[in-house]
Amino acid sequence: MERIPILRMGSFLLVTIQVDMHDRLAMTLQEDLTRKITETGARGVMIDISALEIVDSFIGRMMSHISSMARILDATTVVVGMQPAVAITLVELGLSLKGVHTALSVEKGVRYLEQSATSRGGGRINGRRSR
Amino acid sequence: MERIPILRMGSFLLVTIQVDMHDRLAMTLQEDLTRKITETGARGVMIDISALEIVDSFIGRMMSHISSMARILDATTVVVGMQPAVAITLVELGLSLKGVHTALSVEKGVRYLEQSATSRGGGRINGRRSR
């Protein structure tokens, strides 16, 4: 079965999207990714879309969904490598990629995730407040 | 035009192969990769094949070619994430992946490349001997 590989790099996960996404593939990716976050305790997810020349509302929504799911599992998501034409199309389509952070390159994405992990603190339970 | 993205991670490059390779795509990848190595001065190349369920002689040869080209440009190549079934097929096909190093995961691949870069020394001209 077709799957998009999820690579572990330290405390982050990297997903490179190269193929046309369809419903089932997107579902599988979301399932694989959430499972992998819990398995590895990853603090961040990078989605590389440098291969995509077109980002439609379906992929836009998928990225928002992944970002929201990851956030619940205490991981930050950053989309890296967006082509200029894709940014133009997204704005023209009125897609704001709500809640999705972006970075120009993987290296900048890693830096963003590291800062984000540091500012959230080291523990996975720092979201809890004592009463 | 279809391209396989090459991601820069520090002094290494990462290529994730997810799609069926055909002649032109393989040629483009080799060109892009050699150009990127010279542009970035990368010391290592990781080729992730965890998405591949089949590696035929064509892909095997492509990996050997990339590895040889990278070596001339003073970069080490490591193939990561090979599925067990692929290893079995390779041996059955009599493909030995000559000159190609392998590692089970990206993290192990990075460790191998780091050790390899250290043992070769920091400079890009360490291959030259003084007379």
Task: Identify the domain containing residue A100 by its residue range.
Answer: 6-120
- Is A51 in contact with A82 (CB distance < 8 Å)? no
ipTM of this predicted structure: 0.73
What are the structure tokens assigned to A69, written together?
A: 């799911």
Model confidence over A60-71: pLDDT tens digits?
889 999 999 999
Query: pTM score, two decimals?
Result: 0.81
With an 8 Å Cβ cutoff, are A16 and B8 in contact? no
Q: Is the dihedral of CA A56, A59, A65, A70 positive or negative?
A: negative
Mean per-residue pLDDT, B7-22: 90
Closest CA to B101 of B68, B58, B53: B68
Query: Is B127 a member of any domain?
Result: no
How does pLDDT run across B48-95, given as a tens digit for each residue?
999 998 888 888 889 999 999 999 999 999 999 999 999 998 888 888
- Burial class of A126 by CB neighbour count within 10 A (0 to 12, 13 to 18, 19+): exposed
Evaluate whether residue A19 is within a structural domain: yes
- CATH code of the domain containing B10: 3.30.750.24
Searching chain A, which residue's CA lies closest to the CA of residue B9? A107
pLDDT at A2 over 80: no
In a domain, A129, yes or no: no
Tell me which residue in A18, A50, A110 faces B18 most closely, judged by beta carbons: A18
Element of type H or E holding B19 = none
Nearest to A105 among B8, B81, B105 (CB): B8
Most B-contacting residue of A16, A19, A49, A82 (CB-CB within 10 A), to test interface: A16
Residue B129 located in a structural domain: no
The yes-or-no verdict on residue B35 having pLDDT over 80 is: yes
Q: Are the beta carbons of A5 and B107 separated by less than 8 Å?
A: no
Say yes or no for a CB contact (<8 Å) between A50 and B7.
yes
Residue B65: inside a domain, yes or no?
Answer: yes
Given an 8 Å threshold on Cβ–Cβ distance, is A8 in contact with B48? Answer: no
In chain A, the number of structural domains is: 1
- A-interface mutation test, from B1, B2, B18, most A Cβ less than 10 A away: B18
Give how far Cα A32 sits from Cα of A15, B38, B51, B112, Å. 11, 35, 13, 27
Give domain status of residue B1, yes or no: no
